Amino acid sequence: MQQYPSILLTRAVDEFSKLPGIGPKTALRLVLHMLRQEPQSADNLATALTELCHGVKYCSVCHNISDNERCDICSNPKRDNTTVCVVENIRDVMAIENTQQYRGLYHVLGGVISPMDGVGPSDLEIASLQQRVEQDNIKEVILALSPTMEGDATNFYIFRRLAPLKVSVSVIARGIAQNDELQYADEVTLGRSIINRTPFKN
């Protein structure tokens, strides 16, 4: 166990080491970097963190992170409010927004069904999704969850729950990624990309 020459230093390094992917050595490097800066920059980081963690709000409609009761996407009248894209977390919202290919709304589940991790349907925002579809005149639900076993199970569960409602459910295309080499693609992906081939368009 590394001994640090100061209790304050030890405490700061310990707290930084709790962050994912940051070990004691990196934590020490970061803390010593902060020490070389003006104390103001430590204050800025500290304030930003506490303000975020105490003041964070989530959109009451789509559960995306937001500064207001309703997020900017849900309250934007230019967005197509008949389409809802279901994603796991807010990072996926950002990733899809970055593509600039989607003009509908989102619904952040907060994860996927995973019995191994003790995450069941009631831990996710699935009931609120069903409610939205029932009340908000949603025409299409796009499932954009991770292409894993848990994601597939969640897709299937949501599909079953929405089946009695008048809504079309689609899932994002899976296939060979841009610039991937065919010979290195796994068999499931390559097989599906042949089954789900699309008409050639110029």
Which parts of this chain interact with its own copies (CB under 8 A)?
2-9, 11-12, 14-16, 18-22, 26, 28-35, 37, 39, 41-57, 64-67, 71-73, 89-91, 93-94, 97-98
Kindly tell me which of 7 and 173 has the beta carbon lying closer to its own copies: 7
Kindly write down the DSSP assignment for every residue of 158-193, as one continuous string: HHHHHTTSS-EEEE---SPPTT--GGGS-HHHHHHH
| Min CB(145)–its own copies separation in Å | 17
Kindly tell me which of 65 and 176 has the beta carbon lying closer to its own copies: 65
CA 31, 33, 39, 43 torsion: positive or negative? negative
| Min CB(165)–its own copies separation in Å | 28
Kindly tell me which of 86 and 169 has the beta carbon lying closer to its own copies: 86
| Min CB(192)–its own copies separation in Å | 29
| Min CB(46)–its own copies separation in Å | 4
- Count of CB atoms situated within 10 Å of the CB of 41: 12
| Min CB(6)–its own copies separation in Å | 5
Kindly write down the DSSP assignment for every residue of 134-148, as one continuous string: HHTT--EEEE---SS
Q: CB of 62 within 8 A of CB of 106?
A: yes
Element (H, E) at 58: strand 57-58
Kindly tell me which of 1 and 116 has the beta carbon lying closer to its own copies: 1
Q: CB of 196 within 8 A of CB of 189?
A: no
Kindly tell me which of 32 and 188 has the beta carbon lying closer to its own copies: 32
